[in-house]
Structure 1
Amino acid sequence: MTTRRAALALALAAPTIARAQGAAWRPDRPVRIVVPFAPGGATDVVARVMTETMTNLLGQSVVVENRAGGAAGLIGSEMVAKAPADGHTVLLHSNAHVIAPSLVARMPFDVLNDFAAVAHLGRVPQVLVVNPRMPVTDMASLLAWLRANSGKVDFASAGIGSGNHLASEIFRAAVPGVQMEMVQFRGGGPAMQAVIAGNAHMCVDPIASAVAHIRGGTVRAIAVAGPTRAAILPDVPSASEAGLPAWDAAAWFGAFVPVRTPAPAVAALNAAFNTAMERLQGRLGEIGVERQPQLATPAAFDAFVRADLPKVAEVLRRAGVQPE
């Protein structure tokens, strides 16, 4: 009898032992992917592209919940930071995640220490475009024009602290001695429209939203920010090719969970996101999202985020942005 009771006790304890040893975790109810922006933006699109595949991989419904508001998506991020750390609430954010501390003096959470990095979900290169009536066709002629018109240049931006603004400031820093007026708009769309209408000379925009305007001829692409060309715009040179290697800026997307989420849950979510990225390469590529396999693990992505935050802070500090 003693032996049978011991065997029964061991059998009942087996699931707990397996979990303790890192056995595969599975959600037992729907998983919420919180997007801290309004529907329709790039972050929201990436999340929604993945939901069906993620549902199949995890065996539970995966639903997107938009919680817009606050600087750099503060409201949605805070909600996830304070959610139960059980793997069922995931934050899907952009590089605005590391921009927020440069904008908000009293953050309601710690970007680095209140979240666990789950998966890097790709980067979207940004592209510099100009009004097509400007007498420039490439980076060399643009730089010459900028130097000749220093102090008269209107550089449209998607608002202080946006990814577009960050990339614009990195460009401005890469062209010392040229005075450019950074004109802030309420989003990337209005900034692009200002360039198309001739109310601003140029802007930086994620390729995902700029490509239609470039192909339609309403703006002229000068270069892609970074060392390599973008697959979605193979004829547009990279900044390095164009002679401006210091201009390297791209938006990125990533998944995070509350920091105390068990390691097996983080591992399972990471595997699901990476598998979804592999299966959806075609669809993601259509909106300009490029995978970075070297950042596939939670540890690699965490190190990337920790390194990116001070870089972003320094760019915005030099641009005169002060937390409020």
Structure 2
Amino acid sequence: MPYRSSGPRMGRRQWVRNTLALAASTALPFSAWASGKYPEKPIRLLVGFPPGGGADFVARQLAQHLGQTLNANIVVENKPGANGVIAASEVARAAADGYTLLLGVTASQTISPVLSQKVPYDPLRDFTPICNVGSTPLVLVVNPKLPVKTAKDFVAYVNNSREPVPYGSAGNGNITHMAAELFIQNTGLSNLRHIPYKGSSQVLTDLLGGHVAAYFDTLPSSMPYIQNGQLRALGVSSRERAPSAPDIPTLDEAGISGYNTTTWFGLFAPPKLNVQIVQTLNDATRKSFDGADARKSLTARGVEPILNVPDQFKSEIEAELGRWRAVTAAAKISLD
């Protein structure tokens, strides 16, 4: 015998109302989470370089201001190595829940992937771009004891040296290395010797000690040493002078015609992050640096805020990948 309810018959309209109510109650956790419940626990922000460098500086400013906007605790974790690839690899494999983020940089996202087939991620497929926080020029700095005052003096010094002149970088394939390679391509120098380190702070220690002669550092990293006279700045790598350091000429102005490159710092999440969390993070990042004081926390150290939307950031990454493929091919550089 077929089953029959012993209660009153449910009308079609009531059945529809009950079904819609059930669907609404089932969707409630997701809707609440997407509309303001995120974040509900601390967020990890991985940075692939040691404390003291430009990426670490931007990561800590971002953690502070974004944390205030989201009313969340954002914990910066330094996981240095392989030009940021170690930290980026961990984020690429992490759960796409918004609680593991990356402060990615030019080196980890657009240079290393074109230098080595061993990089364990695809820079486009394996990340969710959130926002390009800002960019900065690099600056050619030397020990003040070096007998040069300008970039052209430095070129002449290198050409006249009997021994190869050592310059430091924060690692093979790092932007500080690639900026030097662009400089070499531009000037035709053949007497510079590359000394790779494991981070900016290590290079600066040896540069201050006179163990290397020069370094293409990020401006936020070198600015304190330039300001107190411990390093001499010969030129910034951008097309225009940095607003935070207007007395430093561009390398183009200093006689290195056509030289131009910058590096950027961007916020990334694991792949396939929910679009509403992406929007929350992007909105909050941009809002975090709306105020004059927050923006000054970046610009005072040479980082110019960009703060774009995810689609714009993705397009920039695609263009950068094409550019560095061409540069590394011309320089015949590979990490494999």
Same fold, judged at TM 0.5 (above): yes
Scaled to the shorter chain, the TM-score interval is: 0.7 to 0.9
8 Å contact from structure 1 (residues 155, 203) kept in 2: yes
8 Å contact from structure 1 (residues 102, 323) kept in 2: no
Q: 1:122 aligns with which of 134, 138, 146?
A: 134
User: 1:285 maps to which residue?
Assistant: 299
Structure 1 residues 24, 170: closer, same or farther in 2, change over 3 A? farther
Worse-superposed segment, 271-280 or 166-175: 271-280
Within 5 Å, which residues of 2 pair with 1:145-224?
145-149=157-161, 152-176=164-188, 178-224=190-236
Offset from partner CA, 1:30-89 (integer Å, 9 cap, x none): 2332223344443233222223432343344333333344x2223322222122223332
User: 2:89 maps to which residue?
Assistant: 78
Residue 61 of structure 2 is aligned to residue 49 of structure 1: yes
Tell me how far 1:132 sits from its aligned partner: 2.4
8 Å contact from structure 2 (residues 65, 289) kept in 1: no
Worse-superposed segment, 137-146 or 299-308: 137-146
Offset from partner CA, 1:90-129 (integer Å, 9 cap, x none): 2221212222224543232212211121100111221112
Structure 1 residues 177, 100: closer, same or farther in 2, change over 3 A? closer
Q: Distance in 1 between matches of 2:133 and 2:241?
A: 19
Letter paired with 2:70:
L
8 Å contact from structure 1 (residues 140, 242) kept in 2: yes
Tell me how far 1:281 sits from its aligned partner: 0.7
Residue 272 of structure 2 is aligned to residue 255 of structure 1: no
User: 1:300 maps to which residue?
Assistant: 312
User: 1:96 maps to which residue?
Assistant: 107
Letter paired with 2:297:
R
Q: Distance in 1 between matches of 2:162 and 2:319?
A: 33
8 Å contact from structure 1 (residues 29, 88) kept in 2: no
Letter paired with 1:314:
A
Worse-superposed segment, 116-125 or 274-283: 274-283
Q: Distance in 1 between matches of 2:201 and 2:103?
A: 22
Structure 1 residues 56, 3: closer, same or farther in 2, change over 3 A? farther
Offset from partner CA, 1:288-322 (integer Å, 9 cap, x none): 221125xx011111111111123223333444432
Letter paired with 1:100:
S
8 Å contact from structure 1 (residues 158, 187) kept in 2: yes
Q: Distance in 2 between matches of 1:83 and 1:285?
A: 32
Q: Larger Cα Rg: Structure 1 or Structure 2?
A: 2
Letter paired with 1:29:
E
Count of equivalent residues = 319
Worse-superposed segment, 135-144 or 262-271: 135-144
8 Å contact from structure 1 (residues 117, 256) kept in 2: yes
Percent of pairs with identical residues: 31
Task: Name the SS of the counterpart of 2:304 in structure 1.
Answer: coil
Task: Name the SS of the counterpart of 1:278 in structure 2.
Answer: coil
Aligned-residue Cα RMSD (Å) equals: 2.9
Q: Distance in 1 between matches of 2:169 and 2:222?
A: 13
Task: Name the SS of the counterpart of 2:211 in structure 1.
Answer: coil
